[in-house]
Amino acid sequence: MNAIRDKRRDPRPTEELITLALNEPDDDAAWEPVTVLHARADEEVFDAAERLCGSPVAKERRLGAGILGQLGQPVRVFPSESFDCLARMLAIEDDPEVLESIAEAFGHLEDPRCIALLTPFKSHPDPLVRLGVVHGLSGQDHPAAIDTLIELSGDEDGETRSWATFSLATFTEVDTTAIREALVVRLADPREDARGEALVGLARRKDPRVLDVLLKELTSKNVGMEAIEAAEELCDPRLIPALVDLKNWWPGESRSNAEWLDRVIASCTESAAEHKS
């Protein structure tokens, strides 16, 4: 909260912050003045962002959408007005980077009305737009959103595929046969992050098909964080020998990761005791 309060007290005028965001070549540095605008979140900021959204310059429209998506911290302000502005933009926009920014802004607003607006873009030829659709629909439990994320979890673009898998695995409590089957397919994905997220998603749902794959992962030479997270979610006593062996060399000198492993082993041991009683 102190950081947000400090940003609200930033003396720089709104237009100066916008100019900085537009002219800074480094993306991370360019985002800093935007976070100040998010925290300030007054009517002047909203009006400036709305003007940017109507600009003939794509970079300015992209910034406008990025501002509207996160106005107000920790509580959003102007959510309906922001949604309406973004919806108007989406209806006429054709620049892939701006479309991605609009979709991501919808994701931050968490308004279910975005589902019908974004799903038509799931087959857009630019992978950047399809990735934006994933971010825009993440956390939405409506069947149309879930179906779109399932489809995009098999996208030809690796980043889109991985983020869609992550969304299905972690950002929804929905548990259907279709979701599980989509995650099972990703267990053989060439991307390590997609495979890892699939492990976690199936373990969270206690799907028995994940056990053998997880055991193989835990006994491999390159064990990822997702495998430990999946073991923690599955909490199956049959994982204990692999976890104990793993502790001999993983995670090296990281004390926090070693303590994490200890907690996972303890949880699996408690689960074994519960099954016996």
Residue 275 — pLDDT band, cuts 50, 70, 90? low
Residue 186 has pLDDT above 90, yes or no: yes
Residue 218 — pLDDT band, cuts 50, 70, 90? very high
pLDDT in tens, 86-126: 999 999 999 999 999 999 999 999 999 999 999 999 999 99
Look up residue 211 and give its two tokens.
Answer: 């056990």
Neighbours of 76 (CB within 10 A): 18
Domain ranges of the chain: 1-110
Q: Is 196 helix (H, G, I), strand (E, B) or coil?
A: helix
pLDDT of residue 143: 98
pLDDT in tens, 16-58: 999 999 999 998 999 999 999 999 999 999 999 999 999 999 9
Q: Which of 266, 271, 274 is nearest to 243 (CA)?
A: 266
Look up residue 20 and give its two tokens.
Answer: 């900085």
Q: CATH top-level class for 1-110?
A: mainly alpha
Residue 261 has pLDDT above 70, yes or no: yes
Residue 253 has pLDDT above 90, yes or no: no
Q: Cα dihedral angle (194, 195, 197, 200), rounded to 10 degrees?
A: 170
Global pTM value: 0.93
Residue 252 — pLDDT band, cuts 50, 70, 90? low
- The angle, 0 to 180 degrees and rounded to 10, between the axes of the packed helices 192-204 and 177-186 is 150
Residue 272 has pLDDT above 90, yes or no: no
Residue 208 has pLDDT above 80, yes or no: yes
| CA distances to 27, 86, 146 from 171, in Å | 26, 23, 11
- Average pLDDT, integer, range 177-195: 97
Contact at 8 Å (CB) between 109 and 69?
yes
pLDDT of residue 53: 98
How far out from the chain centre does Cα 34 lie?
20
